[in-house]
Structure 1
Amino acid sequence: MATASPVPLRRCQLLGLAGTAFLALGGESAGALPVRDIPAPSSARAAVGLVGAYFGVVLLIAAWASLGRLVHGAGPPSPRALLRVLAAWAAPLLLAPPLFSRDVYSYLAQGAMVDAHLDVYTHGPALLGGPLAEQVAPVWRHTAAPYGPVFLAAASELSALTRGELPAGLLGMRLLALLGLALMAAVLPPLARRSGGEPSAALWLGALNPLVLLHLVAGAHNDALMLGLLGLGLVAALGGRPLPAAVLVTLAALVKAPAALGLAAVLVLQVRSGRSPLRAALTTGATAAGTTVAATLVAGTGYGWVRALDTPVSPGNWAPTSLLGRVTAALLIRVGSDLAPLAVPAWHLAGLALTAALLLGLWRRLHLRPVYALGLSLAAVAALGPAIRPWYALWGLFLIAAAAPSAGARHRGAAVAGVLALAVLPGGGPADRGHLVLAVSGGALALVVLWQAHQVYRTPVWGPAA
């Protein structure tokens, strides 16, 4: 099969590289910086950084969309060529400051707490005190960790290795995220081949999309490790190795809990291979339980992560159920009802019920496509849960990229990713009018540059092929 011309592919690579380079440079003054390095909000340095960062984000989105035209056109780039593009785009972000979220500071503080034998499932980083706790966003300083023992064990080892030094810790967390991304990129082609998808299209949507680069690489989120282990487990399950599959999926869930849904896919694939449902359920459940006990014993964190799954939701969270809860509470307060405090919990409960109903429907309808069913299930959990962040969309997109039954499904996922990539400012905090003006200015400047490039080359630089 013919491959894409190297000239358009090189243009995509260079355009995306320029985007992440501008983002990294802008992040030096507009990112989620250590407290001592944050410039005054009204300073020229902060303003220029925000404009430059959003200029880079829009360039990256355009490069990715242009790459999508090649991937969905005649003679798409090979997976190996796409991996080279991914490496080039990610390179400038390796040494950039944290971007779009301060969660990485929470990771470091929680790792230091485990290393100091403090109970992270009862206390927040405020108990640790010191420079690391000061870096954690105030809303989370008194909040227990919601993560599983596998991630906290890794964070603890990193804390011991770096001796609590902030620069080394940030680099270590980013390298851990890059390990997760490497696993994601490695498993997407075999997942796609075994699920009836196209490897290059899977890599384009599942590993090269802007949300991955902005939040898993630049933000160093532990979702990368969760998804990498989950994908590795699914490849094992599709290859007829249910026990290693159950172990890997359980380890993913012991990073972040949503991955536990992957055990349903492991179970379904065993039944499809001829194993009785009862035997499949017993072996999968026993393997998951044994893995959980062993991992928790090694980590030494105990089972507090079970009760920590109901970690409080930030007051300004824009998850649909939280928004509806706040609106309902405001209306009840206006009419003088005493039920106002129950509005948010009631909507959260309704969201959980709707999620459960959707999951049952999805698995009944799509049991012959378990990877795709799992992707849609994780998307539903992300969308209807009590808290939502842009990178949560990757839970579902990662698997939808591999197993989507049509190009249209991938394009809808790409549209979601493109919009969400613009949803958070590089500093990770709330945006006021001045921040929005600067961000829009940076994006508009990028669009002007892209239009000029379009006029010069007379070829589109954005928009996936139909």
Structure 2
Amino acid sequence: MAFPVDLRRCQALGLAGTAFLALGGETAGALPAREFLAPESGRAVLGLVGVYFGVVLLIAAWALLGTVVRGPEPPVPRSLLLVLAVWAAPLLLAPPLFSRDVYSYLAQGAMVDAHIDVYAYGPARLGGPLADEVAPVWQQTTTPYGPVFLAVASALSALTRGEIPAGLLGMRLVALLGVALMAAALPRLARHSGADPAAALWLGALNPLVLLHLVAGAHNDAIMLGLLGVGLVAARGRWHVLGVVLITLAALVKAPAALGLLAVVALRGRRRRGTARATVTTLVVAAATTVAATAVAGTGYGWIAALKTPVSPHNWSPTSVLGRATGAVLHKLGSGLAPLAMPAWHAAGLAATACLLLFIWLRLRPHPVYALGLSLATVAVFGPAIRPWYALWGLFFIAAAAPTGSLRGRVAAVSAVLALAVLPSGAPADVGQVLLAVSGGVLALVVLWQAHQAAQPNAPVRERTA
């Protein structure tokens, strides 16, 4: 007999997972400096084990929910949205997890509020307790974000008066708004693309990466994807101009969202065979929105040059890894070309991205929503920087328009692996911390196996024969 699976059990198991995440994060998360515990302290060790115990429970709950969604009586989207709300609830007041980027957001918002040019200076220029929370590698780095996000961060800074706990809560609420917009857009995009809305919600909104990095990590990718998704919903209907405005605002949070404008043109061209007219209208509205948003934000056009903001030297994107390896080989050979290895590989990555985008849009020509998902995935993989949550750029739209269930399965498997890739503190891992994280995950697997065994019927007792 199989492990009994239904919506309520999945909801309860996932809730247990996020509850352990929140509890473990109290001592092992990306805590403010004054609350930081040494990784070898007993409470930090217990917290790390607890976080990974929760992560594995959450992944298991999500996988089991997938069997329910694919079953003979799949839940309606409204039921899945309730599950998402229940799973996210424990994370609302948890400390930041898996990244310290939210402190950078707050510092950059405070800089804008203090009239410091965030495109010319890093958070170190701000000084004070808030800047001290920013990871050392980003202290001197200018912001890579657009004026729309900086306006949100600045308003939040003014509202919270630089208080870190209030600022963290505010950023999480902004991220939750983005996730809510994502969840609202997914079923509509799926229906338009001929996909199953419930399956789209399962892969694109209930995905552990969404809960771990967009909710718990409070990343601004949530508001980017939310605006992008809602913009596509509007643009495919009678609200073309509104859709372009929303997508442009998403691009002024993070630049990759600008690819959504290609999807708008493709959608309008399909409906009315007016590709040229749709292109001109889209470009004019996008340009006007950009000018207006930049003027309102008051941050100027430094965001254009900020697209070249340097990335961490320890970044694990394929082009960065190849750049470091090539540079090391050239250095050992005594070649003076070693410093050029990283820029050369990054340029090769950009060239490969351009070629693949042309192939997707001009040769493959899949459904525009699916093409957008493939394009954003390409940008994430071949770009100069990559983080686990970058996978959500393409995954969100692939979830909405994936042509086959097997493709969803492969994307889900990648998501589950990426969900285990980062420590809750956001710091680089050492061997001891990896072992503790593995211990937490193994403990969760043992508990799940015991629950599975307890759910099995008792084996029949054979009568002895004389």
TM-score range for the pair, normalised by the shorter chain length = over 0.9
Contact 1:206 1:402 in 2 (8 A): yes
CA deviation after TM superposition for structure 1 residue 140, in Å: 0.3
Distance 1:347 1:7, change over 3 A: closer
Distance 1:368 1:314, change over 3 A: closer
Contact 2:122 2:140 in 1 (8 A): yes
For residue 223 of structure 1, the aligned residue among 221, 224, 233 is: 221
Q: Distance in 2 between matches of 1:101 and 1:287?
A: 35
Q: Residue 323 in 1 paired to residue 308 in 2?
A: no
Q: Residue 407 in 1 paired to residue 399 in 2?
A: no
Q: Counterpart of 2:285?
A: 287
For residue 418 of structure 1, the aligned residue among 416, 419, 423 is: 416
Q: Distance in 2 between matches of 1:371 and 1:365?
A: 16
For residue 87 of structure 1, the aligned residue among 68, 74, 85 is: 85
For residue 433 of structure 1, the aligned residue among 431, 442, 453 is: 431
For residue 51 of structure 1, the aligned residue among 35, 44, 49 is: 49
For residue 13 of structure 2, the aligned residue among 7, 10, 15 is: 15
Secondary structure in 2 matching 1:301: coil
For residue 133 of structure 1, the aligned residue among 131, 134, 150 is: 131
Q: Residue 191 in 1 paired to residue 199 in 2?
A: no
CA deviation after TM superposition for structure 1 residue 281, in Å: 1.6
Contact 1:268 1:367 in 2 (8 A): no
Q: Distance in 2 between matches of 1:450 and 1:42?
A: 28
For residue 166 of structure 2, the aligned residue among 165, 168, 172 is: 168
Q: Counterpart of 2:267?
A: 269
Unmatched runs of 5 consecutive residues or more in structure 1:
1-5, 460-466
- 1:56-455 equivalences under 5 Å are 56-455=54-453
Q: Distance in 1 between matches of 2:227 and 2:78?
A: 21
Contact 1:366 1:372 in 2 (8 A): no
Q: Distance in 2 between matches of 1:32 and 1:178?
A: 19
CA deviation after TM superposition for structure 1 residue 280, in Å: 1.7
Secondary structure in 2 matching 1:33: coil
Contact 2:190 2:196 in 1 (8 A): yes
Q: Distance in 2 between matches of 1:452 and 1:364?
A: 52
Q: Counterpart of 1:463?
A: none
Contact 1:28 1:97 in 2 (8 A): yes
Partner deviation per Cα, 1:380-432 (whole Å, 9 max, x = no partner): 10011000000000000100000000101111110111000000000001000
CA deviation after TM superposition for structure 1 residue 152, in Å: 0.4
Q: Distance in 2 between matches of 1:444 and 1:7?
A: 21
Of residues 211-220 and 404-413 in structure 1, the stretch that sits farther from structure 2 once superposed is: 404-413
CA deviation after TM superposition for structure 1 residue 433, in Å: 0.6
Q: Counterpart of 1:24?
A: 22
| One-letter identity of the residue aligned with 2:32 | P
Unmatched runs of 5 consecutive residues or more in structure 2:
458-466
TM-score (norm 2): 0.96
- Give the superposed CA RMSD: 1.1
| One-letter identity of the residue aligned with 1:217 | V
Q: Distance in 2 between matches of 1:366 and 1:110?
A: 41
Partner deviation per Cα, 1:117-143 (whole Å, 9 max, x = no partner): 110011011000001000000000111
Distance 1:243 1:367, change over 3 A: farther
Distance 1:7 1:342, change over 3 A: closer
Q: Distance in 2 between matches of 1:365 and 1:15?
A: 44
For residue 33 of structure 2, the aligned residue among 32, 35, 44 is: 35
Q: Distance in 1 between matches of 2:272 and 2:372?
A: 20
| One-letter identity of the residue aligned with 2:183 | A
Partner deviation per Cα, 1:211-262 (whole Å, 9 max, x = no partner): 0000000000000000000001111122143211111110000010000000
How many residue pairs match? The answer is: 454
Moved over 6 A (4+): none
CA deviation after TM superposition for structure 1 residue 367, in Å: 2.9
Contact 2:108 2:118 in 1 (8 A): yes
CA radius of gyration, larger in: 2
| One-letter identity of the residue aligned with 2:349 | G
Secondary structure in 2 matching 1:328: helix
Partner deviation per Cα, 1:264-292 (whole Å, 9 max, x = no partner): 01111121122533322211111000000
Q: Distance in 1 between matches of 2:432 and 2:255?
A: 37
Contact 2:104 2:134 in 1 (8 A): yes
Secondary structure in 2 matching 1:306: helix
| One-letter identity of the residue aligned with 2:355 | A
